């Protein structure tokens, strides 16, 4: 790895906490980049770290990562959009993920998605306009014995029905209002 590559991210002798971009969260990304020695194969890991830090991947972040790893911007954009888990919009206040794996499908997961989507006017995979709720579907959470599974704000809930999920989401949304 050449020296020029190392200095790209501006990680040289500066104090912790005054990142040139004006956003100190980039320090955490820099740390990861440094640990990976700016190797280009660290792209996906770096995007994971950046998404953990910022919550989503904005264009600025993608440009930053592309410059740091010396990758063409179109390539970074191509990789980021290829993978399902990277998001480019800020997430909503609450998140509801419905597992749509085979076991959950057999037990009616698509009805849960449809009823949450209709009740709260959020298309699957999107965030509501008032930013209150993000509705996601997951391929398989691997908790097939608990089907149908819903993850609401990080809590795994087993054996859900349309009604139980809708009322649960309603309680959380109502509680905020």
Site residues (vs other proteins, CB under 8 A): 40-45, 47-48, 59, 62-63, 66, 72-79, 81-86, 100-103, 105-107, 138-147, 149, 156-158
Cα 131 from Cα 12, distance rounded (Å): 39
CB of 10 to other proteins, least distance (A): 19
CB of 82 to other proteins, least distance (A): 4
Judged by beta carbon, residue 32 or residue 132, the one nearer other proteins is 32
Judged by beta carbon, residue 62 or residue 116, the one nearer other proteins is 62
Cα 152 from Cα 169, distance rounded (Å): 8
CB of 151 to other proteins, least distance (A): 9
CB of 177 to other proteins, least distance (A): 29
Judged by beta carbon, residue 71 or residue 132, the one nearer other proteins is 71
CB of 150 to other proteins, least distance (A): 11
Between the alpha carbon of residue 4 and those of residues 12, 26, 27, 77, the distances in Å are 11, 19, 19, 23
CB 152 within 8 A of CB 169: yes
Residue whose C-alpha is closest to residue 160's, from 143, 177, 174: 143
Cα 49 from Cα 132, distance rounded (Å): 25
Cα 136 from Cα 80, distance rounded (Å): 18
Judged by beta carbon, residue 85 or residue 177, the one nearer other proteins is 85
Cα 150 from Cα 158, distance rounded (Å): 7
Judged by beta carbon, residue 14 or residue 139, the one nearer other proteins is 139
CB 44 within 8 A of CB 83: yes
């Amino acid at each position: 790895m050449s020296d020029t590559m190392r200095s790209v991210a501006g990680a040289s002798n500066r104090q912790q906490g005054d990142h040139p971009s004006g956003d100190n969260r980039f320090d955490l990304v820099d740390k990861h980049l440094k640990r990976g020695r700016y190797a280009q194969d660290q792209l996906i890991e770096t995007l994971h770290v950046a998404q953990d830090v910022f919550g989503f991947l904005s264009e600025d972040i993608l440009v930053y990562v592309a410059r740091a790893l010396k990758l063409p911007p179109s390539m970074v954009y191509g990789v980021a959009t290829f993978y399902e888990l990277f998001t480019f919009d800020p997430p909503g206040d609450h998140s509801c993920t419905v597992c749509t794996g085979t076991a959950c499908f057999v037990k009616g997961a698509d009805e849960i998605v449809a009823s949450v989507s209709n009740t709260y006017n959020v298309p699957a995979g999107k965030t509501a306009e008032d930013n209150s709720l993000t509705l996601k579907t997951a391929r398989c959470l691997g908790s097939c014995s608990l089907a149908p599974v819903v993850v609401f704000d990080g809590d795994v809930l087993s054996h859900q029905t349309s009604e139980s999920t809708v009322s649960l989401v309603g309680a959380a949304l109502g509680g905020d209002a």
